[in-house]
Amino acid sequence: MLKVGILGGGQLGRMLLQAAVPYEVETHVLENDPECPAAQLCTHFTLGDIRDFNDVYAFGRSLNSITIEIEQVNIDALEKLAAEGVVVIPEPRVLRLIKNKISQKAYYREHDIPTSDFVITQVRDELQHHLSFLPAVHKIGEGGYDGKGVQVIKDATDIHKGFDAPAVLEKLVAIKKELAVMIAINQKNETAVYPLVEMCFDPTLNLLDYQLCPAQVDASVATRATQIALQVVQGFRSPGLFAVEMFLNEEDQLLVNETAPRVHNSGHHSIEAMDSSQFDMLWRILLSLPLGSTRMRNPSVMINLVGSGDTGPAHYHGMTQVAATPGLSVHLYDKKISKPGRKMGHMTLLGSDMHQLQKQARELKNYVSVSGGTER
Ligand SMILES: Nc1ncnc2c1ncn2[C@@H]1O[C@H](COP(=O)(O)OP(=O)(O)O)[C@@H](O)[C@H]1O
Ligand SMILES: [Mg+2]
């Protein structure tokens, strides 16, 4: 029986483990929180720090393959494991390239992949030299996620918001739509491409509000987006599951924003809406099985369930109505503590009419919620 490890035990690891059930595989998870979302669902749970060389190396030594559910892992340890014969997916070299937004942007530029123009800054004060480049977005090189690590710098008065660390300053894009393409590449270099999704963001939390599949764009835009995403991931020359995020600007140009080298929020709907989900697909890659089918079973809308109210033990509201809604699936991540803006779960609604789906999504958001604190 193959032993496969996952670095990170958050919701992505949890859903990956749920998809492992049909397969012949022994699952291992490394995470420093014994109550993390993935802890109960794996064959073996190891308590440790995914950013620590010794912890990652000791965890991986006895495994056949290893993958990640978050980029902030110890890549040196993964390189040593790969050199010793452990199959690391995606390859550590690609993780290193993607983990830092500076090298990631440089990759797009070198590979002629359309992306917003950028300059690199080392310290905050350097922003003073780029006033003519504004308005722009300052992005910290390493460690940002879910919009933390991204600051809009409209003019000189915003410079104090910038990062005093190596960062990318990129032109502010007049975004018409945010799109994402998920692509799987197996160890034989075969590819499977998922239908284009459209992400709609909550302007205050800067967190995904809901997401539509298929994206509501012209067929020609979808075709171009897929071609660009393939160009991005094929250049990595590594097996893996990748999510390529793009902007469609007001001039209908597509610009690559960033790539995730792992299962991704933009693929949650694939659990119900596709023949083979992103999680199922990654197992196929890890276990050297044929790639799954990315055929869309139904149009869908996916809604993140994020914490509201206070910080404290999680309470869920509206779940009886959720259970009574045909075509609606809910996934709770088993996070013990709800915090404002924290991803606590998601819902996927299948339907046939895109307008109807969006209307229902907005209604759902009115009566389904997660909050922390003491239940009254
Ligand atoms: N160049 C840009 N122009 C306009 N908006 C941007 C730009 N870059 C990022 N954003 C906005 O900020 C969000 C988060 O940025 P992103 O680089 O994807 O960081 P994260 O790693 O937090 O997902 C994007 O989804 C988009 O809404
Ligand atoms: Mg992003």
CATH number where 158 lies: 3.30.1490.20
Q: What average pLDDT is seen over the chain?
A: 95
Give the range of the structural domain holding residue 241, as residue numbers without chain letter: 175-372
Asked whether residue 23 is domain-assigned, the answer is: yes
The DSSP code for 195 is: P
User: What is the model's pLDDT at position 107?
Assistant: 98
Q: Is the CB of 147 under 6 A from ligand 1?
A: yes
Structural domain total, the chain: 3
Ligand 1: residue whose CA is nearest its atom 14: 147
Q: Using CB atoms within 10 Å of the CB of residue 196, give its burial: 0 to 12 exposed, 13 to 18 middle, 19+ buried.
A: buried
Q: Is residue 364 part of a domain?
A: yes
The CATH number given to whatever domain includes residue 13 is 3.40.50.20
- Examine residue 313 and state whether it is found in any structural domain, yes or no: yes
Residue 40 exposed, middle or buried by CB count within 10 Å (0-12, 13-18, 19+): middle
d(CA 151, CA 163): 8
**Ligand 1 contact, 173 CB (< 6 A):** yes
pLDDT at 304 > cutoff 90: yes
DSSP 298: S
Structure confidence by residue, pLDDT tens digits, 237-269 = 999 999 999 999 999 999 999 999 999 999 999
Q: Are residues 204 and 328 in the same domain?
A: yes
Per-residue pLDDT of 122-146, as tens digits, reads 999 999 999 999 999 999 999 887 7
Q: Are residues 292 and 348 in the same domain?
A: yes
Same domain (yes/no): 126, 273: no
Task: State residue 375's pLDDT score.
Answer: 57
Q: What is the pLDDT of residue 209?
A: 76
* Domain shared by 134 and 259, yes or no: no
Confidence of residue 205 (pLDDT cuts 50, 70, 90): low
CA of 2 to the centre of ligand 1 (A): 38
From the CA of 170, give the closest atom in ligand 1.
1
Residue 373: in which H helix or E strand, if any? none
Residue 376 confidence (pLDDT) above 90: no
Integer Cα distance of 148 and 170 in angstroms? 16
Domain identity same for 63 and 204: no
216 and 284 share one domain = yes
157 and 304 together in one domain:
no
Position 34 in a domain: yes
Position 208 pLDDT exceeds 70 = no
Is position 42 within any domain? yes
179 & 328 share domain: yes
Please state the atom number of ligand 1 nearest to the C-alpha of residue 147: 22
Per-residue model confidence (pLDDT) at position 207: 62
Least trusted range by pLDDT, from 166-170, 178-182, 360-364: 360-364
Burial 325-363 (b: 16+ CB within 10 A, else e): beebbbbbbbbeebbebbbbbbbbbbbeebeebbebbee
pTM: 0.95
Asked whether residue 84 is assigned to any structural domain, the reply reads yes
Residue 103 within a domain: no
How much of the chain exceeds pLDDT 90, in percent? Answer: 92
194 occurs within a structural domain? yes
- Mean predicted confidence (pLDDT) in 360-364: 91
Q: Which atom of ligand 1 is nearest to the CA of 145?
A: 22
Min mean pLDDT across 274-288, 328-342, 357-371 is at 357-371
Q: How far is the CA of 147 from the centre of ligand 2 (A)?
A: 7
What was the pLDDT predicted at 371?
A: 93
Is residue 300 a contact partner of residue 348, using CB atoms and an 8 Å limit? yes
Q: Are residues 179 and 45 in the same domain?
A: no
Q: Pairing between strand 197-202 and 254-260?
A: unpaired
